[in-house]
Amino acid sequence: MNQTKTAFSIRKIIGASSVGTLIEWYDFYIFGSLATVIASQFFPKTNPTAALLSTLATFAAGFVVRPFGALVFGRLGDLIGRKYTFLLTLTIMGGSTFAIGLVPGYSQIGFAAPIIVLILRLLQGLALGGEYGGAATYVAEHSPPTKRGFYTSWIQTTATLGLFLSLGIILITRHSLDSDPLKSFSKFNNWGWRIPFLFSIFLVGISIYIRLKMKESPLFAQIKSEGKISTNPLKESFSHKSNLKMVLLALFGATMGQGVVWYTSQFYAMTFLEGTCKLDFDQTRTILIWAILLATPFFIVFGKWSDRIGRKWIMLAGMFLAIITYRPLFQKLITITDTQTKTEVAEKKQIQTSYNFIAGSNDTLRTQAISHFFTNGTSLTETKIDTLYATPGKITLKPDVKISKLVGTGDYWLIVGILFIMILYVTMVYGPIAAFLVELFPTKIRYTSMSLPYHIGNGIFGGLTPFIATLLTTIYTGDKLVGLYYTIIIAGLSFIIGALYINNKTDKDISD
């Protein structure tokens, strides 16, 4: 009877913690997933690349402030407790996300728009920096030693599921604003993108209600009642050599490598499919959704397994596999989507041209879409937009050309398979890491000590991956896969440090 009650209680704890963390990740990722749309709304449209870079910088800003959130809220969590701290982070995150959905565009309020959005994005990053450490610590401090990896792995599923939820809600919203798909997309780009942000307030409301009913972590409550809580968690975490050396080990030997693998397999893969392989927006996202759905249970598998064989080698094996297979896997994505190696069905070729008068002038906007179809079900549409000037002899010097590919069923599932393998690496490096970090640090400074290396590794090294990888492809233009070297070098370094210095023993007693 007692055992049933305990099992029910731990399930409730895991559920309540995971739902809140999942919503925080959802809030955080809808911004990244809608980077292009947000760029057009909040940043000057004169130069689309500048607009996109500005958004990516804002996106990066969301990641760069995460370690500061880890310090601010980690300190609070070690001083006033886990429960109230992660309630606060959830409220800040929910409020900021909802507010982004309400900010008027650049065309309405000028430069105030991007500045407000940037501030709200920074608040999101701060809140996320405080959330994860609290949730992981809270669940771990309720878990028996033999199931710590298993129970905390549920928290580990939330980052990926948050991305899954954000992609799903964006796709559903994008398709449901009008019965005509083209009109629906246009409405989404104009105002519909706000819906996923506004929707967040309902999710956060439910989560706050659930979390309010939770009790404080038993280990924190115990040290508090004994008067053993830290008076200065920041000082104890980072100025005591014996603890600082563990913080550095956690960063360089584990979280740094984990961060780049996480973001390469999920975010950079998405950017790569859409940007380099020119795959259709919706198809890229549904592929990622399937891969996430199929791979997510493995967070639990590897978390549970780490209770039996230790955390170290599972995490390092994930890093190692990523290092040696990323280049061939990404190369395969290029090969699958390369239409030059496919046979075209010439008689199916379609050319559609439409003309729209440009208001206030005698010029006309011409949109020409040429569709090519291939024997294996793949199609390629090249859309060219140029202006037909009324003035004789004047022509558009650089027409706007967009290429979008749709792969056939066989190739579609092949790409799902490749992304599944990449996300499997994520489940290996990420599944056991919460238990690993919790076991490295003492209760009274655990929240602060584990949050900082996690958010430097995951937020800075990981979060900047799509940005740095894309940047590398603009510097070294000859190799489409050059962006992967950032991940390979960082993960390689982390693998060597982890293999040399990390202990594979699991700490049975984390109550000290």
Partner 1 sequence: MMNNLKKIAGIVWILLGPISIYYLVKTAAIEISKKPVPETKIQWIVFVFIFIPIAIGLVIFGYYALKGEYQHLPESSAEIND
CB of 248 to partner 1, least distance (A): 4
Q: Rounded CA gap, 368 and 217, in Å?
A: 62
String of DSSP letters for 390-436: SSTT-B-SS-EEEEEEE--HHHHHHHHHHHHHHHHHHHHHHTTHHHH
- Could you say which residues in the range 412-441 bind partner 1, by CB under 8 A? 441
- By the rule CB under 8 A, 226 interacts with partner 1: no
How far out from the chain centre does Cα 213 lie?
A: 29
Residues in a beta bridge with 372: 380
- By the rule CB under 8 A, 231 interacts with partner 1: no
- By the rule CB under 8 A, 57 interacts with partner 1: yes
Note the residue count of the chain: 512
CB of 265 to partner 1, least distance (A): 22
- By the rule CB under 8 A, 365 interacts with partner 1: no
Which candidate, 74, 3, 5, places its Cα nearest to that of 220?
74
φ/ψ of residue 12, rounded to 5: -65, -40
* Interface region with partner 1, contact rule CB under 8 A, candidates 33-41, 94-102, 373-381, 463-471: 463-471
- By the rule CB under 8 A, 10 interacts with partner 1: no
List, in order, residues 6 or more apart from 62 with CB less than 8 Å away: 28, 31, 32, 121, 122, 124, 125, 128, 463
Q: Rounded CA gap, 111 and 313, in Å?
A: 50
Instruction: Answer for the pair 74, 127: CB distance below 8 angstroms, yes or no.
Output: no
List, in order, residues 6 or more apart from 383 with CB less than 8 Å away: 367, 368, 369, 401, 402, 403, 404
- By the rule CB under 8 A, 227 interacts with partner 1: no
φ/ψ of residue 388, rounded to 5: -100, 110
Nearer CB in complex with partner 1: 10/472: 472
- By the rule CB under 8 A, 101 interacts with partner 1: no
* Interface region with partner 1, contact rule CB under 8 A, candidates 73-81, 321-329, 386-394, 496-504: 496-504
Q: Which of 252, 267, 326, 436 binds partner 1 (CB under 8 A)?
A: 252
Q: Which of 92, 167, 269, 456 binds partner 1 (CB under 8 A)?
A: 456
- By the rule CB under 8 A, 288 interacts with partner 1: no
* Interface region with partner 1, contact rule CB under 8 A, candidates 34-42, 198-206, 390-398, 493-501: 493-501
CB of 240 to partner 1, least distance (A): 7
- By the rule CB under 8 A, 45 interacts with partner 1: no
Instruction: Answer for the pair 268, 471: CB distance below 8 angstroms, yes or no.
Output: no
Q: Rounded CA gap, 440 and 442, in Å?
A: 7
CB of 252 to partner 1, least distance (A): 6
Kindly determine how many residues on this chain lie close enough to bind partner 1 according to the rule CB under 8 A.
Answer: 37
Within 10 angstroms of residue 328's Cβ, the number of other Cβ atoms is 10
- Could you say which residues in the range 232-251 bind partner 1, by CB under 8 A? 236, 240-246, 248-249, 251
Q: Which of 170, 460, 481, 484 binds partner 1 (CB under 8 A)?
A: 460
Residues that bind partner 1 (CB under 8 A): 50, 53-54, 57, 60, 64, 236, 240-246, 248-249, 251-252, 441-443, 456, 460, 464, 468, 471, 475, 493, 496-497, 500-501, 503, 505, 507, 509, 512
